[in-house]
Amino acid sequence: MENVKWKSRGILASVMAAGLLLSACSSESATQTENENESAGTEEKTEDVKLVLNWFPKSQHGGVYSALEEGTFEENGMNVEVEPGGPQVSPVQIVAAGDAQFGLAHADQMLIARNQGIDLVAVAATMQGSPQAFMYHKGEDIQDFEDLNGREVFVQPGITYWDFLKNKYDLSGATELGYNGQHVNFIDNKTSVTQAFVTSEPFFMEQENVPVETLLVSESGYDPYNVVLFTTKDYLESNKETVETFVDSYIKGWESYEKSSDKINEVIIGENPNIELEALNFETETQHDYIYGKDAAEHGIGYMTEERWDTLKNQLLEIGLLEEDFDTGEIFTTEFLPGHK
């Protein structure tokens, strides 16, 4: 009898052990299934998004490359592709065609696009003002825009601020020559003037040992937001969560860039080897107040006001570049900016 009892106990123990093993396997299998489901859920949340730059990678795109390098976009479930801009690239047209979700452009370009039937919405203004200027040889007596008369002026045909200046001032004595991005003719002609960005061209002239001075276009009262992040009205209405996440990542990228521009400028060099690190550093320094100062100092990076958009709209209406008036609340929103949600 005793042997039978021990056999029974042995069988019972074996059954219990098998049960525990089966239970453990089931638990492990369930945990593995949960992990797989969580992993699959994470993959499903990752969204492919494209951003088109307004020019070749530069410091004015530092926040974008900071958000990429620091993993900010990725942490927010976004796989962001950046398409460089250039003279033959139109972010407005690419985004309008649905080939990208976001683009960068200047505020006046967005207003003119609306006049052409393209409904865009600005969601963040990277630069609180315009660093566009006229550059001239140091020592030339240029105090105001009317002093451009009697000089050759290299300016891009159809550029909006030149139309504004010609409407506001009598510039009939200026000889308008096409700007092609090169400065050889400007350097050779000591009395000539050329369009420029104070964040870049003065550095290039310094490298050529050509002393220059600048006259900011904004001193005329024409001062549109620059490097504006935008999307289409249709995309915004259908993808508010994505827009909010992208803007949040974009702003955080600019916050990070302020502290880590040295590292990020090295990254930008990798994307645009045609620019020197010294030029990027010069741009970073001179653009700082445009991005982090002015209204942004009080209200945060990307800030925009209806008053500024209205002023620009009315200026373009006055010179005939807009055909009809409209509510500027249709072309910009601050609802996705930190502190304005």
What are the chain's domains? 46-129+224-330 (3.40.190.10), 132-220 (3.40.190.10)
Percent of the chain with pLDDT over 70: 87
- The whole-number pLDDT of residue 340 equals 73
Question: What residues does 51 pair with on adjacent strands?
Answer: 82, 102
List pLDDT tens digits, range 100-159: 999 999 999 999 999 999 999 999 999 999 999 999 999 999 999 999 999 999 999 889
In the Cβ-directed half-sphere of 22, how many Cα atoms lie within 13 Å?
6
Please calculate the CA angle 92-94-95 and round it to the nearest 5 degrees.
70
Closest CA to 123 of 243, 224, 234, 239: 243
- pLDDT bucket at 295, cuts 50 / 70 / 90: very high
Q: Which residues contact 154 (CB under 8 A, 6 or more apart)?
A: 177, 178, 179, 185, 186, 192, 193, 194, 195
- The whole-number pLDDT of residue 19 equals 41
Other Cβ atoms within 10 Å of 340 Cβ, number? 13
- The whole-number pLDDT of residue 9 equals 39
**46: helix, strand or coil:** coil
Question: What residues does 75 pair with on adjacent strands?
Answer: none
Three state DSSP letters for 3-34: HHHHHHHHHHHHHHHHHHHHHHHHHHHHHHHH
pLDDT surpassing 60 at residue 71: yes
pLDDT surpassing 80 at residue 36: no
- The whole-number pLDDT of residue 181 equals 86
Q: Contact 93/257 with Cβ under 8 angstroms?
A: no
pLDDT surpassing 90 at residue 39: no
Closest CA to 266 of 253, 255, 275: 275
- The whole-number pLDDT of residue 339 equals 77
Distance from C-alpha of 171 to C-alpha of 184, rounded to nearest angstrom: 24
Q: Contact 178/154 with Cβ under 8 angstroms?
A: yes
- The whole-number pLDDT of residue 127 equals 98
Q: Which residues contact 115 (CB under 8 A, 6 or more apart)?
A: 321, 322, 323, 324
- The whole-number pLDDT of residue 3 equals 40
In the Cβ-directed half-sphere of 75, how many Cα atoms lie within 13 Å?
11
Average pLDDT, the chain: 89
Q: Which residue has the higher pLDDT, 291 or 20?
A: 291
Q: Contact 61/105 with Cβ under 8 angstroms?
A: no
- The whole-number pLDDT of residue 134 equals 98
Closest CA to 129 of 259, 254, 219: 219
**Mutual orientation of helices 160-168 and 107-115 as an angle, nearest 10°?**
90
Task: Compute φ and ψ for 105, nearest 5 degrees.
Answer: -155, 170
- The whole-number pLDDT of residue 69 equals 98
Q: Which residue has the higher pLDDT, 70 or 19?
A: 70
Distance from C-alpha of 38 to C-alpha of 161, rounded to nearest angstrom: 53
Q: What is the mean pLDDT of residues 233-237?
A: 98
- pLDDT bucket at 44, cuts 50 / 70 / 90: low
- The whole-number pLDDT of residue 180 equals 87
List pLDDT tens digits, range 93-112: 999 999 999 999 999 999 99
Strands 175-178 and 152-155: parallel
pLDDT surpassing 60 at residue 43: no
Distance from C-alpha of 253 to C-alpha of 17, rounded to nearest angstrom: 56
Question: What residues does 80 pair with on adjacent strands?
Answer: 49
